Structure 1
Amino acid sequence: MRLIAAMSFVMLLAIASSAQAQGERINVQGVERTYLLVGQKKPARLPLILALHGNRGSGAQFARYAGWDELARQENILVALPDGLNRAWADGRPQAQFRGKPPPPGTDDVAFLAALVAHLVQQGYADPTRVYITGLSNGGAMTYRMLCERADLFAGAAPIITNLPDAVARACRPSRRVPLLVMNGTADRFAPFASQSGLTLGHEDALAFWRRHNGCGEIDARRTLPDRDPTDGSTVAVTSYACPANARVLSYVIAGGGHQFPSIAKAPVLENLLGPRNRDIEGSRTLWDFFRHP
């Protein structure tokens, strides 16, 4: 019942935000797909962030929840927020392992997201050398899958508040190294911080997986960020590793953080169910700062 209530709330957010957003459309493999594009919509070869919503969310909902529209205006970048079919992403897990609603059988989201990047590059909107991907929850797991299958498209990635599906990790053969930021909360009941045998790799094991792939060594530096809001029940620790150039791996651990995208500006939502929303960092800006300084 708690999960149903949480997802119902996300649905309400999605419906409310979609009414205020103008979506774009693209046909991929005979299926009409939709996405929201925020930022300067004219040929300018701008940096592009592909931002993937969580299960039962939408691009418009994620834009409002995480402040992507504000960031795009402030930084003169593009953010594309695509919509998953059935409000879900085919992130490589068997459908039986979805805790929310799964995508339709046969959904090829790898092809969709690759086609969307190619479309925005061909239109002259996006710089193909500065394309980045991030995602929340189910969208974060899809981010991992895109790294495994289409690393060639991205100059940086950031799976957020999510786990690496075991099925994806076992088949993962990335074509190149990509700078990676991984962020998780230790009190997340929906994307547990620890690994779940046969199901997902938790925060530390996912980090170890990508550190090996990126050729990283041991810890280079670790620091705890200022506790800007002592009432939010959480703090943030950042760990960096000794990695080759253009292959940096960064860990953000939100001690006491729940299944929430951190934000200073955005109000908490359903904290009694989803857990604390950290208010020490602005999540979207944290990710952009990482992408532009890999």
Structure 2
Amino acid sequence: MRDSIEVGGRTRSFTVVGPADGEAGRDLILIFHGSRQTAAKHRAFTGGMFDALGGVVAYLDGYRGNWNDARRASAFPARRDDIDDVGFTRAVIDQLVRTHRIDPARVFVIGYSNGGQMAMRLAHEVPELIAGATMIAATMPAPDNFLLAGAPPAPMPMLLIHGTKDPIISYQGGELAWWARSVFKIGGRSLSAPETAAYFAARNDITAAPATTKLPGGANGTSVELTEYRQEGRPPVALYTVHGGGHTIPGPRRTPAVMGRTNQDVNTADLIRDFFGLATRGQIWEPPPSTASSAPVV
């Protein structure tokens, strides 16, 4: 069902999957598309794999194809026009809590590329709104390129998925290629995917060393390796490294060849469901009442 809402004097739109008359206290999964996409295009781009995550799934539409993320060097219309995408997110959550019997403590976000940057903005600026985030083909901006670099730690489970052969957002970090900066109106330096995972582990006050496991498979020149940061009493951080993978979302729907290879050994929706306990309605991590995170913002 396509719906709309007024935010900051603008009509914003989104598409909801899941009936309004379902069980009370359901999960809400918010999907943020990549640059130059819409909610409908991203839903088709992923083969609708996120529709089956359970609860209620909402695909949000960006402003003229983008999200006003927190990269200082972003120069697309959503940034130039100072679009209130945080307010939009809050308004969608509030409406669906009322209309679809959502548990406000069970809101998760999934972002791809520019949408992944938006997920990182939400995790830093309004962590009280979300219970966890997934970033696909997106890495943390370097501190001098991040508008929220001074945000205090707000521990939550974080899942990252990134291809080592991503031609747009490099797995190794650094600056985008000149053509990508020109086409997508994005600049500035970013951390590598492993540095991004370590950054969120530090924010979650995880001091234990990560564990790495190679997953079975290896079709079409890609393979998947899982690096997990886990420590008792701390929310976990996981990085799925797709060796040989491009600017793609692992799963049943292959993307155009120009984006690089799509791994089909794993299904991103399944990874998300298992990590956040969506299928079993697992407990959200909560900090012990006697402890507080002392992790620095890096």
The TM tier, using the shorter chain, reads 0.7 to 0.9
Following superposition, the deviation at residue 174 of structure 1 comes to 4.5
1:245 and 2:233 matched: yes
1:222 and 2:212 matched: yes
Output one character per residue of 1:112-164: Cα deviation in whole Å (capped at 9) or x when no partner.
11221122113243111111011000000111011010111111111111122
Deviates more, 1:243-252 or 1:177-186: 243-252
SS at match of 2:239: strand
Output one character per residue of 1:39-69: Cα deviation in whole Å (capped at 9) or x when no partner.
223353310111100001111122222244x
SS at match of 1:171: coil
CA 1:71–1:111 in structure 2 vs 1: closer, same or farther (change >3 Å)? Answer: closer
SS at match of 1:112: helix
Counterpart of 1:38 in structure 2 is: 17
> CA RMSD for the aligned pairs?
2.1
Give the conservation status (yes or no) of the 8 Å contact 1:207–1:251.
yes
CA 1:124–1:41 in structure 2 vs 1: closer, same or farther (change >3 Å)? Answer: closer
Higher helix proportion (structure 1 or 2): 1
SS at match of 1:86: coil
Matching residue within 243, 249, 257 for 1:261: 249
Counterpart of 1:274 in structure 2 is: 259
Counterpart of 2:293 in structure 1 is: none
Following superposition, the deviation at residue 246 of structure 1 comes to 5.0
Output one character per residue of 1:150-198: Cα deviation in whole Å (capped at 9) or x when no partner.
1111111111111222332762414621100111110001110112165
Q: Distance in 1 between matches of 2:32 and 2:50?
A: 16
Counterpart of 1:83 in structure 2 is: 61
Matching residue within 218, 223, 227 for 1:235: 223
SS at match of 1:87: coil
Give the conservation status (yes or no) of the 8 Å contact 2:124–2:148.
no
SS at match of 2:146: helix
Counterpart of 2:182 in structure 1 is: none
* Poorly superposed stretches of 4+, deviation over 6 Å: none
Counterpart of 1:10 in structure 2 is: none
Matching residue within 199, 222, 227 for 1:209: 199
- Structure 2 stretches lacking a partner, 5+ long: 176-187, 285-298
Q: Distance in 2 between matches of 1:53 and 1:204?
A: 23
Aligned pairs for 1:75-224 within 5 A: 75-94=53-72, 97=74, 101-103=76-78, 104-166=80-142, 167-168=145-146, 171-174=149-152, 176-196=154-174, 198-224=188-214
Q: Distance in 1 between matches of 2:161 and 2:77?
A: 23
Following superposition, the deviation at residue 97 of structure 1 comes to 4.0
Q: Distance in 1 between matches of 2:104 and 2:148?
A: 29
Deviates more, 1:144-153 or 1:104-113: 104-113
- State the TM-score, normalized to the length of structure 1: 0.82
Percent of matched pairs sharing the same residue: 30
Following superposition, the deviation at residue 72 of structure 1 comes to 3.6
- Give the AA of the match of 2:224: V
CA 1:110–1:188 in structure 2 vs 1: closer, same or farther (change >3 Å)? Answer: same
Counterpart of 1:60 in structure 2 is: 40
Output one character per residue of 1:69-93: Cα deviation in whole Å (capped at 9) or x when no partner.
x5544x5321111000101000122
Give the conservation status (yes or no) of the 8 Å contact 1:46–1:127.
yes
Output one character per residue of 1:18-41: Cα deviation in whole Å (capped at 9) or x when no partner.
xxxx42101112211000111223
- Structure 1 stretches lacking a partner, 5+ long: 1-21
Give the conservation status (yes or no) of the 8 Å contact 1:71–1:285.
no
SS at match of 2:107: strand
**How many pairs were matched up?**
263
Q: Distance in 1 between matches of 2:150 and 2:133?
A: 15
Following superposition, the deviation at residue 283 of structure 1 comes to 1.0
CA 1:243–1:201 in structure 2 vs 1: closer, same or farther (change >3 Å)? Answer: same
Q: Distance in 1 between matches of 2:268 and 2:88?
A: 25
Following superposition, the deviation at residue 102 of structure 1 comes to 3.9
Q: Distance in 1 between matches of 2:95 and 2:201?
A: 31
CA 1:132–1:286 in structure 2 vs 1: closer, same or farther (change >3 Å)? Answer: same
- Give the AA of the match of 1:35: F
